[in-house]
Structures are given as C-alpha cells and as structure tokens.
Amino acid sequence: MTAGASRLFADLEVDVEPDAALGPRTWFGVGGRADALVRPRSIDALQTLVGRCHRDGIELRVLGEGANLLVEDEGVGGVVVRLDHPAFRERQIEGRGGADSVRAHAGVELPRLILETSRAGLAGLEGLAGIPASIGGAVKMNAGGAFGAIGDRLHAAAVLDRRGEVSVYAAADLKLGYRRASLPGPVLLWASFSLESDDPMRVQERVREVFAYKRSTQPLSDHSAGCMFKNPPPDSSGEKRSAGQLIDQAGLKGLAVGAASVSRQHANFVTVAPGATAADIVALADLVSDRVFDHAGVRLEREVVVWGRGRGEEGVRHDA
C-alpha cells in the first residue's frame, strides 16, 4: 500500500489491514491479497472514502461474503471495502408486510435475513434459502435460482455514486435482469423488500424445503463458489438450457485442472482440493467453456466474479 493510498483514510473512522489475505475470505479459499482491506465504522466514513477513491482514480471493490468470487493469485490493487461493521448490518422488519416491509443494509447476511423474516411470518424471500450472500452482493448480481431471484421482491435501493453521495432508486430503475442489476454507483448502501404476511410455520417450512432441495442437488459441503456459469439464453426454438446440463452432456463431470475439478454431483460447480490455485480454477473454467462450445455451439458466460490487478471498472462492484 502506497503512502498516497494510505492518506485516503488516515483521518477517517475506519479499520485498515494492509496486504490483507483475500483468498481465505472467499468460499473457494484460494487466491491472492489486497493492497488494503478497509472496514468503515460509519456511513459518513464510507461516503468520504468512496469520493476520495474516485477523485484520485483508485480502484474500489466491495467484498461481501465471498461466495461468488475468485481472487487471482496475484491479488488486487487499490482499496477493498468490507461492510461488516454494525452500521452496515442494520435491518428493520415490519411484521404487517407490504411494500418496504423489510429494509436491510448491505452488510446483512442474506441467510440471516431469510431466517428473521420467516420467523416474523413474512413470505417472499424463502426461495433464496441456501444462497450465501450479503444483501449488497445479492442485489448487485440479482442472486437467485430455480425458486426466484431477489429482484422479484426488491422495492427500492440506496446507492452511493462515485462522489459518495446517496440516492434512492425504485427497483424498476435498476434494470434488473438475469444475474445482474444496473446500480448507478459503485456501492449499494441498503435495500428494501416487499413481502407478504403469512403463517410463520408455513414460511419456515418452505425455507426448509428449498434448502433440502439444494442440499440434495448441490455439493454444498465442498469448497466452491456456487454456479460457475450463467444459464445461456433459450435456443432458437425457445427451449431453455441450463449450463449444468450442457456441461454434463459434454461429458465434463470430473474434468480437472490441477486441484480444481468439475463436480460429479452438479456439473455447474467447480470444487477445489488442497493445493488448488486461482489459476487452476480459471484454466478449468476456460477449458469447460471451450469444450461446451465445441460440443453444443454455446459459449458459456462465467457467473463467478474474478478479481485481479488491472481489471479496471470490472472490479468496481460488490461480490456476493
């Protein structure tokens, strides 16, 4: 970390860890380090830091739960922000349901919010059970699966622009799509959701059913980052295709590069064994993409976010 970079936050309410290991903070458990990992202790400190990074042309990334992230072995430059102070874990839950019945800051863990809303008898988020994300990362990538996406229930979001100023946007303004949301700024501050009142026991039972389904079909006990690839668009006849199905049909289950391999339980998961490197995972993902293209004529797009030095604006985002 350079002296110039350290002056960004020397007078702010933040905790700073220079040369911080990022790999162990991801679900893959591999990868390099950050020049500086910064934990703001207040929203004001975060706003000032975001504005200064923009002013000085310094890359800014937001680290969520690390569940959809791969950090290259060389690590990343600039500033990585972690929103895990209590100021960024606040949430308000209104048991009556309706629009804006739940508001959660970016650092709130999605599984915890699902647990709390289900106990309060609020339905709508239970289809996201088993997704290990922060609210900031989940909204940024419009996290979801077979049972729906978080954008289906999003009511509004507060976003910091590059100057560190806060604006609130309705969900319709964020151009939500499959595994994406167009945030008009680098940092999500909080999001609110529209949920319905229901019997708490019934909502909690749906949570258990969704989680049981995922546990039976996905390698949740292995080191992975969830689905490696996005599902491609429907083919010319309108038939939907899943990335896992295409990988399986190409005969790639068990394919390995180094200590990274395609899961035999779910072909769209890449799992890692001790000794794996980020380079192994990237090389395997590229090989799978090429093999699927050769077999089916479909080019798969990675869902897992890759952070590395020199990636520029691609890195200015929340991970999950």
Contacts with 167 (C-beta within 8 Å, 6 or more apart), sequence order: 158, 159, 161, 184, 185
What is the C-alpha to C-alpha distance for residues 266 and 244, in angstroms, rounded to an integer? 7
> Distances in Å between the alpha carbon of 115 and those of 111, 150, 247?
6, 15, 33
* 264 tagged catalytic: no
* Closest to 93 measured CA to CA, from 194, 169, 199: 194
In whole angstroms, what is the distance from residue 227 CA to residue 8 CA? 36
Q: Which of 52, 103, 179, 317 is catalytic?
A: 179
Q: Which two tokens stand for residue 49?
A: 């830091």
Beta bridge partners of 180: 177
Residue 227 annotated to the active site: yes
Type of residue found at 92 = Q
Given the residues 303, 311, 313, 314, select the one marked as catalytic.
303
Instruction: State the catalytic residue, choosing from 227, 291, 299, 313.
Output: 227
* Catalytic residue IDs: 179, 227, 303
